[in-house]
Every structure is written in C-alpha cells, then in structure tokens.
Chain A
Amino acid sequence: MTVYESDLPGVGRKYELETGDGRLVVIIHHDGLREVYRRESPDADAQKLFEVSVDRARQLAAVLQGTDFETVDVGALSAPLGEAIIEWREVAADSPYAGRTLGQADLRRETGVSVIAIQRAGETHPNPSADFTIQEGDILVTLGTREEQAALDDTVD
C-alpha cells in the first residue's frame, strides 16, 4: 500500500493512504489532534469522518492493529528460564502475606522462590529489600522452579 506524506506549513503533516475505494487522508496537527477524511474519487472533496486526540488515536491504532485488549491473566503468565521460571502473582486481600514485609514473609525459606520485583500501581520496584511491605493488589514477580512456584501458589492465597 502506498502512503503519501506531505508537510502542511502551520498545520502539521498530511498522510494519504490508498484504500480499495478511494483514499483515506489523515491530518496530524502540531497540537496532536488527528483528523481523518475519506475521498471517494480523485475529483471528489474529502469528507471528514472523525477527529481524535493523541491518546484516543493510540488506542484506536491498537484496536485496528488487532492488539488483544482483554485483561491479562497475571497467574497464567510465565517465561522460560532454564529450570527456573518467572511468574507474576497478585496478592489478594486475604493473603497471609498482605501487610507483612518481605523479611517477615521469608518466601525463599517457605517456598524456595526469590522475589525479583514487585509491581505496584503500574510501577515496578526491582530487587525489593527485606523491609519492603507487601500490600494487597501488589504483583509479586518471582523466580523459581515449577515446584517452588506451585508451593508459593499454595501459600500466597
């Protein structure tokens, strides 16, 4: 597919995409606004379809791209690492570990896994120290063998 790109001095940039039946024209303004037009034939005037802000445009682009938007099931995520695997696990409200420090929980002695990071409210705290307090909703990123991870599963909930 051909995309034609051109400068619009004082406005922003224009992109024209050839589609089967005419062209899509996207105007990206300097302030981030995106306008999308459609032109049915070379002689026709472009009709404005919609306009979106930068953030909305990114979401729309992800949808169009086919990115899966379902909530990630953190329990099911794992990555191979030799014998050991890394798993992500959310701390439930009634978990015995909620409210305790890593030192108090002592997960390595209990189950054998090492806590390599804790994710809280979108932020990742790598290599947390022993006085890091675990809270409800935290996501524990742990390294261990399958058996060790299973042992953690039994105790964390």
Chain B
Amino acid sequence: MDAKQVDKVAILARLEFTPEEKQKFPEQLSNILNYIDQLTKLDTGEIQPMGQPLGELMDKLRLAEDNHLEYENREELLKNAPDPSPPDDPEYFRVKKVIE
C-alpha cells in the first residue's frame, strides 16, 4: 500500500492521520499485507467461505421468529448523544446540514 492508496482507503474509512501516522502507515500496512499475501499459495477453489464458527447450528438459531420489541430506555440512550435535539422534542441526533 503506497501513500496514495493509504489516502484513498482513509477516505473510505472516514479516517485522518497524525503526521507520524502518515509517515509510518504505508510501510507498516505494506509489511502486514505482504505477510498476508502468503494465503495466495493455498488452493481454495472449491472451498465454501466460512462467516461464523457454529455453521449449521447458527443457521438453526436464525430460524427463530423475529419479534418487534420496543426499547424501554430511549431517553437514556439519547443522553449519550454529543448534540441531541432540544428537550421539548427529544427524538433526534443533530448533525450539520447535509442538504442545501
């Protein structure tokens, strides 16, 4: 990963870096990716990808019916917002204007 690729991925990841990170990341990330590249030596043509460890057992769990439940403590959750809407309408998170 060169500096240009680092910049591109950083935007995708919504990240910015300190000058020190900017200087070190291309080399550090390249070293890690080079190490990871040894996986290309393995033939995995017909193998199914594995997303989670419990396999079919987890698929059975997923068959459970979905139930809609109301979360009781909405106010408490909103208290953690850096900029919640005013107390007379405590329903929203506020952000900068996104549509002109």
Do the two chains belong together in a single complex? Answer: no
Residues of A participating in the B interface, judged by any CB pair closer than 8 Å? none
Residues of B participating in the A interface, judged by any CB pair closer than 8 Å? none
